[in-house]
Structures are given as C-alpha cells and as structure tokens.
A and B are shown apart, each in its own frame.
Chain A
Amino acid sequence: MDILFEETNQILTIFLSGELDHHNCIAAKDRIGLKLSMGSYHKILYHLEGLTFMDSSGIGLIANGCKIASVFDAKVYLYTENEKHLKIFTMSNMQELVTLISSRKELDAVWKSSMK
C-alpha cells in the first residue's frame, strides 16, 4: 500500500492506494500518526479512491487519525466512491467521526468551500 501526503494552507490530504488490510494497516497507522502529530491542520482529507482493496482494518486506521486530529480540533473528511468501502464505513458509524464524501462533485464542492 502507498501513502502520499499533500499539504496546502493547513489542509492535509492523505492519498491511500493499493490494498489495505490488517497486515499493512499497522505501518500505515504509524506513518499517518507521525505526520499528523508533526503538524497542525484545520482539515484532513483521507482520499481513498486509489484503494483497490480494504477490509475492516480501514475503520481502525481512520479512527486512529481522528483521535490524533481531535487534539488540534481538525475536521476530518473521507472521500471514496467505492460502494463496499462506504458500506464498511457506514456500518461502523464512521459518519459520526468524519464527513463521508462519496462523489467527485461533492468533493469539489466541499473543498471549494473549505478554501474560502
């Protein structure tokens, strides 16, 4: 699994691609946790469109990021159009922790307003 960070005006986008399971989740969690704890962000976007596989390990990964983000009161967004991934997130009530974005149009609208 690959992780790419992009920072603009205290907004951090985390691009995840490849396969996310319990095996590679531990390293991903550490890497993202370190990145989050080194900065101070207003908004964090998990961009998951590059993920080709994800099981319930994704829930723990995002929840861990939310815990760290809550220290500096950042708002967390999660973008995926994958129906199965959305199902896994909604069945765990992830929408209570993050804003789930399920279309490119919605992403563009949210991001345009966040840049103002």
Chain B
Amino acid sequence: MEIINEMRVMFLSKSENESFSRVAAASFISPLDPTVSELVEIKTAVSEAVSNAIIHGYDGTIGVVTLEMRILDTRTVEITVTDQGKGIPDIEKAKEPLFTTKPDEERAGMGFTVMETFMDSMEIDSAPDKGTRIMMKKSLTTDLT
C-alpha cells in the first residue's frame, strides 16, 4: 500500500494528553474530508487506545505514548498507539466486553470493544513488561476524486 502521508507524535502518559491525541488525530485526517461520523469514530478509537496506554500500560507511572498515523492509498487511515508499559498478559481476555482489571475504579472494560466496533480492524501486540502496540485501520467512505 502506498503511503500518502504519515505523522508521529510522542507525549507523556498524562491523562490530560487524551484530548491532545484526539485533536492531533482529527487534524491529521481533516484533508481527507471525513464525514462527521467517521471523524467521531476515529477520535473515539484514538482516545480509547491512548487511555489504555496511560491507565493500564503505565498504571500511574510516567512513560511515553506514541501515536502514529498514516494515510494509505488515499482513503485508508492507519493508527498505531504504542507504550512501553507493563503489557497485557492475556490479550483475548482483555478484549472481552466488560472485562477490566480495575473494577474498583468503575472502569467499564469496553475500550477494546469500542475500538473494534468503530474501526474496520484492530490488532494488538503485547508482551509483559515490554509494552503494548495497538494497530487500527479504517477506510473512509467519501471519495473526493
């Protein structure tokens, strides 16, 4: 697939950066003129992935979260969110709806379900004490050409 454009931003695992990551993602894809629905879905998926890195990956400690985005073949958006946190021991379990390791904090355990629902595809690479990488893709429907 041809890479039309790409960007990478790195920021500390502070929860106030969740909104920054959404704004960065929205700005990057704005030249593609996404529909409001597509824009909301991408912003929500980015917010979930970044929240996952901050809350579960670094779990109160400070590390670096990397958001990478690519535009492939003119209308496909690829998003990768990476952390070097504690990793996910059981990915399939973590993907189950309503599963959370933090029930006492009223976490919904719906982050991965939301990402899977709002994006076309989602893949997770993770290893204990190494970190987690979440890769998502979405093809935008409107073709301006």
Contacts and interface: CB of A to CB of B under 8 A. Distances in A.
**Size class of B's contact patch?**
20 to 34
B108 A91 contact: no
B48 A55 contact: yes
Contacts of A22: 15, 18, 47, 51, 54-55
A63 to B, nearest CB: 6
Interface in B87-145: 97-98, 105-108, 110-111, 113-114, 117-118
Contacts, number: 69
B97 A92 contact: yes
Contact of A92 (B44, B98, B106): B98
Nearest to A63: B106
Contacts of B30: none
| Chief secondary structure at chain B's binding surface | helix
Interface in B51-68: 51, 54-55
Contacts of B43: 53
B114 A88 contact: yes
Contact of A29 (B18, B22, B48, B106): B106
Contacts of B19: 19, 21, 23
B40 A88 contact: no
B110 A88 contact: yes
Interface of A: 19, 21-23, 29, 53-57, 59-61, 63-64, 83-84, 87-88, 91-93
20 contacts: A21-B22, A22-B15, A53-B40, A53-B43, A53-B47, A55-B48, A55-B111, A55-B114, A56-B48, A57-B108, A59-B110, A60-B105, A63-B106, A64-B106, A84-B40, A88-B44, A88-B110, A88-B114, A91-B114, A93-B98
Interface of B: 15-16, 18-19, 22, 37, 40-41, 43-44, 47-48, 51, 54-55, 97-98, 105-108, 110-111, 113-114, 117-118
